[in-house]
Structure 1
Amino acid sequence: MFSWTRRAALAAASAAALTFAGAGGASAEVSQVRISKGFGILYLPLIVMQDQKLLEARAQKAGLGDVKIDWLTLDGGNVINDAMMTGSLDFAGIGAPGFITLWSKAKGIPSAEVVGVSGMSATSLYLNTNKPEIKSLKDITAADKIAIPGIKTSLAAVVLEMMVAKEFGRENYAKLDPMTVGLAHPEGLVALTGGKTEITCHFTSPPFQYLELKNPKIHRVANSVDYLGRITLDVTFAPKKFVDANPKMTQAFLDALDDANALIAADKKKAAEIFARSSKVKVDVHEVQEMLEDPDTQFSATPNGVMQFAEFMSLAGSIKKKPDVWSDMFIPALRDRKGS
């Protein structure tokens, strides 16, 4: 059931690291870049960037020549952070909590420091269930199991804790943690809709939440937007030493992400088609387009509300170093934007 394991993900990243060992040098920027993305619509800007070869075009425009890009699919903050810290990635899309965790842990360690390159996406996360008796967070018991991509560090894990804090009081933020099970979103969908495993709930993102709700035995228990509002859920980040050594490539990446977001805003049908053909699960293009037109789903390189995560994680004790302002965590190129 748990086919996408942390070990398999790290093995894929390590193999890519061997492929790219020695790329670039002190006197020139890299000509090979390793980027990871995850599952679901939250990663649509990176999916569009890959499909439309937007980074290749921006790199050419910046005078960097023909850049080879290796794309990896990694899910769960702990897996992505491990890959970043072992030097297997140059840029990564990740849930904001996973990035903040690594930023705080590595702050002040030059060889390990990371920096945010951009915001990326915001949407609603649904807690769905296959048990009719579960109507709210208060109905979940010790007998239930909630599928999330990564325990404690994934986006879903932290957002769920923040919702629980609002429902039961901040001191009880970890009340549902013992019920969580690490499972990639595609597998969580199969487990929940199949109804033959221990999984009774799945806290997930588009398109998986919508696909689950097409099953008459599945219903929604909670929506993250009702608790937290429309805040940036996923960001991109990179090792600070990579960013410092490759300013043109970093700017090219940011520009390419802006290009991807502009395409999504201007042509949601095309963006839906790109997502559908890249998806790990079968999705209908028209349904994906409807998801993209949901006002709760937004794409922007400007971080919005990431300090909500930092404040919560600091009070919960999951990070020791808290940024004073959002821009402390991101590249200088974003500081003129109206982030939060």
Structure 2
Amino acid sequence: MSKRIAFAPLAAAIGLGFSLLAGCLVAPASAHAEGEIRIAEQFGIVYLLLNVVRDQQLIEKYGKQEGIEIKVDWTQLSGGAAVNDALLSGSIDIAGAGVGPLLTVWDRTRGKQNVKAVASLGNFPYYLLCNNPNVKTIADFTEQDRIAVPAVGVSVQSRFLQYAAAKQWGDKDFNRLDKYTLAVPHPDATAALIAGGTELTGHFSNPPFQDQALQNPNVHVVLNSYDVLGPNSPTVLFATEKFRDENPKTYKAFVEALTEAAEFAQKDRGAAVDTYLRVTKAKIDRATLLKIIDNPQIEFTVSPKNTYPLAEFLYRVGAIKNKPASWEDYFFQDAKPLQGS
């Protein structure tokens, strides 16, 4: 019989930083006036641009240029479902999550709250990892395996897995592997995968967690998201049309801050690493982290790349009801329009 996983103590024991507020603990809030912004991020280097924005107080900087003092509130959640719930309940203004959760909430709110993406957080390969030596491809997973994802069926990792399953077995079986997935935050899933001896044998991860896990010789890559979709922007920031329209100065300050953060991180990755370590207090060696983000497949940019194939796929298999004509349907186009795909 497989062992159950005591996730949080295990993560703490091997030095993986973990701070989590469950979606139900984010108290609903009423609409607020211009000059306040509440941002929800998740875990990993994919959120580094937000770390830079926070560390350098860039939203506050650009707010002053607009003539307002901006109060910024930061929240950390795990999983697209929790993030979407927080956004729709009015608990946050800017949601950080994968393209999968974005497309779900865009589809759900079309003609109502009209949630759309503000920007990408960059291009990153995500790895499906496994510590079961018998699993070489996704076709090798069995009832004995469990795969950790941030949110079952909704997270971008879940959607990548479904996309890969559809390529393997056809669209009708796109959700064939969903029954093997569990919702587990990245730090805990990483700890469980490294430790072994539990029911969790797989983890669709992101950097730096996937790189930390791969330091264990028992862990190997089963699937690289770039091999499925090509280089792409897996994680984005999104907001409601109401927040954007009613807080134009605050929204503009946020966009300008994010753009400066992307330029900073792309130009000086050493300084970006220092920022990540300072803000997240992650227990990871600086040289190791720098090696991770020096990967030429990683790019820090606010312009989305190659998101539309996933949108087309989700419509094709019935996961979303509305088919976007292009990526521009689910991204806001501001004064400086994004150049994406």
* TM superposition score normalised by structure 2: 0.91
Tell me if the contact between 2:84 and 2:95 (Cα under 8 Å) persists in the aligned partners.
Answer: no
Tell me if the contact between 1:137 and 1:222 (Cα under 8 Å) persists in the aligned partners.
Answer: yes
Q: Please state how far the C-alpha of 1:198 moved relative to its aligned partner.
A: 0.8
Tell me if the contact between 1:95 and 1:154 (Cα under 8 Å) persists in the aligned partners.
Answer: yes
Answering whether residue 104 of structure 2 is matched by residue 101 of structure 1, we say yes
Q: Please state how far the C-alpha of 1:12 moved relative to its aligned partner.
A: 3.6
CA distance in 1, matches of 2:249, 2:117: 16
Q: How does 1:206-225 map to 2 (within 5 A)?
A: 206-225=207-226
| Residue 35 (structure 1) aligns with | 39
Q: Which deviates the most, 283-292 or 100-109? A: 283-292
Answering whether residue 193 of structure 2 is matched by residue 175 of structure 1, we say no
| Residue 163 (structure 2) aligns with | 162
Q: Over the residues paired in the alignment, what is the CA RMSD in angstroms?
A: 1.9
| Residue 271 (structure 2) aligns with | 270
CA distance in 1, matches of 2:246, 2:109: 18
Q: How does 1:255-334 map to 2 (within 5 A)?
A: 255-279=256-280, 281-333=282-334
Tell me if the contact between 1:276 and 1:284 (Cα under 8 Å) persists in the aligned partners.
Answer: no
| Residue 14 (structure 2) aligns with | none
Answering whether residue 26 of structure 2 is matched by residue 23 of structure 1, we say no
Change (3 A) 1:278 1:196: farther
Q: Please state how far the C-alpha of 1:120 moved relative to its aligned partner.
A: 1.6
| Residue 71 (structure 1) aligns with | 74
| Residue 27 (structure 1) aligns with | none
Amino acid at match of 2:26: A
| Residue 86 (structure 1) aligns with | 89
CA distance in 2, matches of 1:280, 1:2: 19
CA distance in 2, matches of 1:290, 1:334: 36
Tell me if the contact between 1:145 and 1:200 (Cα under 8 Å) persists in the aligned partners.
Answer: yes
Q: How does 1:211-250 map to 2 (within 5 A)?
A: 211-250=212-251
| Residue 144 (structure 1) aligns with | 145
Secondary structure of the residue that 2:222 maps to in structure 1? strand
CA distance in 1, matches of 2:330, 2:67: 28
Amino acid at match of 1:328: D
Change (3 A) 1:310 1:22: closer
| Residue 3 (structure 2) aligns with | none
Structure 1: 5+ residue runs without aligned partners?
Answer: 25-29
CA distance in 1, matches of 2:157, 2:85: 18
Change (3 A) 1:335 1:164: farther
Answering whether residue 53 of structure 2 is matched by residue 49 of structure 1, we say yes
CA distance in 2, matches of 1:334, 1:120: 19
Structure 2: 5+ residue runs without aligned partners?
Answer: 1-5, 12-19
| Number of equivalences | 327
Secondary structure of the residue that 1:339 maps to in structure 2? coil
* TM superposition score normalised by structure 1: 0.91
Answering whether residue 22 of structure 2 is matched by residue 9 of structure 1, we say yes
Aligned-pair identity (%): 35
Q: How does 1:194-213 map to 2 (within 5 A)?
A: 194-213=195-214
Runs of 4 or more, structure 1, over 6 Å off, are none
CA distance in 1, matches of 2:253, 2:308: 26
| Residue 193 (structure 2) aligns with | 192
Change (3 A) 1:150 1:22: closer
